[in-house]
Structure 1
Amino acid sequence: MHEDQPVRYSGEPLEDARAAMIMLHGRGASAEDMITLSEQFSHAGLGFVAPQARDGEWFRYSFLVPVQQNEPGVSSAMVVLRSLVLEADLRGIAHERIFLFGFDQGACLVLEFAARHARRYGGVLALGGGLIGPPGTDWESQASLDATPVYIGCADVDPHVPASRVEESAQVLKDLGARVDLQVYPGLGHTIGGVQIEAVNAHLERALS
């Protein structure tokens, strides 16, 4: 499904990069949008990788419905993410320097990927999203995120992302061993704002300094 879609690259070539950021776009957006956004994350030695979703959406319905209703999209996106993490690893970038970034559906997917494939990452940076599944979903894992920094930045009122799921996602990831920075921004709406860009840059600065 998504595996045969193009992948865009910018910044430092992965073979020369000291860190990599895999960037997942939201519904109706594109890999090119993520590459444009990456220009606001100016850190020396950072390579950016942005996969494209088929028809501009990673999955069809709300991230809160039973996961089966959003298949094969969710599973296909997991395959894409796993392959890109492996690519960075094969290029010599340690997992501790691989960042997972996403907005909207992309935010849901990077959080879900981190929960399903728990280990130490450079960081998980999720804007306007939460873990995937209906109320009552169990995200328990035998693995640990091993103090991975996780930033979740969302609006206080978002028609697509209930505050309760954002808070639940933060707690689940804490329980999996992450160091979670949950920031709720009054009046932000379902968008990427300057305050979130600043927060992402601050996380990158701490991780890469």
Structure 2
Amino acid sequence: MSGADPHADQPIRTAGVSPEDADAAVVLVHGRGARADGMLHLAQEFAREGVHYVAPQAQRGTWYPNRFLASIEANQPHLDSALVHLDRAVEAAQSGGLPAEKVLLVGFSQGACLVSHFVARDPKRYGGLTLLSGGLIGEEGTAFDFTGDVGGMPFFLGVSDDDPHIPMSRAEGTVAVFEELNADVRFDRYHGRGHGIFTEEIEYLGDVLDDVVDE
């Protein structure tokens, strides 16, 4: 670890079949204060045969120090380091030769914010992007000027109207950005559920993973 690259020596946990034997891969990005192993445990709830699971670990369990609604600069150098580490995880998911279209990206909370930023800044057609209570990173009033085309990539964002961490306005703004990037968007707004991962989302993950495996 270095001050300029705090996540450099953090592990990437894996489960499922080997990359060489995989029909699809899922990259799972944990939230603040959590562990990669916890995301692999979550994956057991929607696991399918023939899938390689990859979960990067953040240094001290935190991808960046301040809220995702802080300025980009306020979360450096951790944010850039986290994006590089996530890129390593995606490379690991594809190490057996899978194309991006066979890789599903999933993030919860801080991890959802990170993975949304990762895809928006370098848009391509992954097998899917699933944000469990998250949104694009940047202070209020940020003009998101991402350009590109994700080619109809399945995109899911789920958030509750009383989530103490993710304002509905940012969730709506994130959905608008991915619509502009040509994603196939599903936006689930829940009422009175707080901050968490919900049954409908696990069901959705199973369905979209089936599609990625079968493509």
Q: Does 1:102 align with 2:120?
A: no
Deviations 1:158-203 (A, max 9, x none): 0100000000000001101111111011122111122221122122
Match of 2:157? 152
Displacement of 1:106 after TM fit?
A: 0.4
Displacement of 1:136 after TM fit?
A: 2.6
Match of 1:191? 196
Displacement of 1:35 after TM fit?
A: 1.1
Distance 2:147 2:112 in 1: 23
Give unmatched runs, 5+ long, in structure 2.
1-5
Displacement of 1:206 after TM fit?
A: 2.9
Match of 1:59? 64
Match of 2:171? 166
Q: What is the TM-score with the length of structure 2 in the denominator? A: 0.93
Distance 1:157 1:38 in 2: 26
Match of 1:42? 47
Q: Is the 8 A contact 1:174 1:180 kept in 2?
A: yes
- Report the 3-state secondary structure (helix = DSSP H, G, I; strand = E; otherwise coil) of the residue aligned with 1:181: strand
Distance 1:122 1:129 in 2: 19
**What does residue range 1-209 of structure 1 map to in structure 2 within 5 Å?**
1-209=6-214
Identical amino acids, percent of aligned pairs: 41
Give unmatched runs, 5+ long, in structure 1.
none
Amino acid at match of 1:70: N
Deviations 1:83-116 (A, max 9, x none): 2222333320110011111101000011111101
Deviations 1:114-166 (A, max 9, x none): 10110100000110110000123233234211111111111121010000000
Q: What is the TM-score with the length of structure 1 in the denominator? A: 0.95
Q: Is the 8 A contact 2:36 2:56 kept in 1?
A: yes
Distance 2:18 2:143 in 1: 38
Superposition CA RMSD, Å: 1.2
- Report the 3-state secondary structure (helix = DSSP H, G, I; strand = E; otherwise coil) of the residue aligned with 1:5: coil
- Report the 3-state secondary structure (helix = DSSP H, G, I; strand = E; otherwise coil) of the residue aligned with 2:106: strand
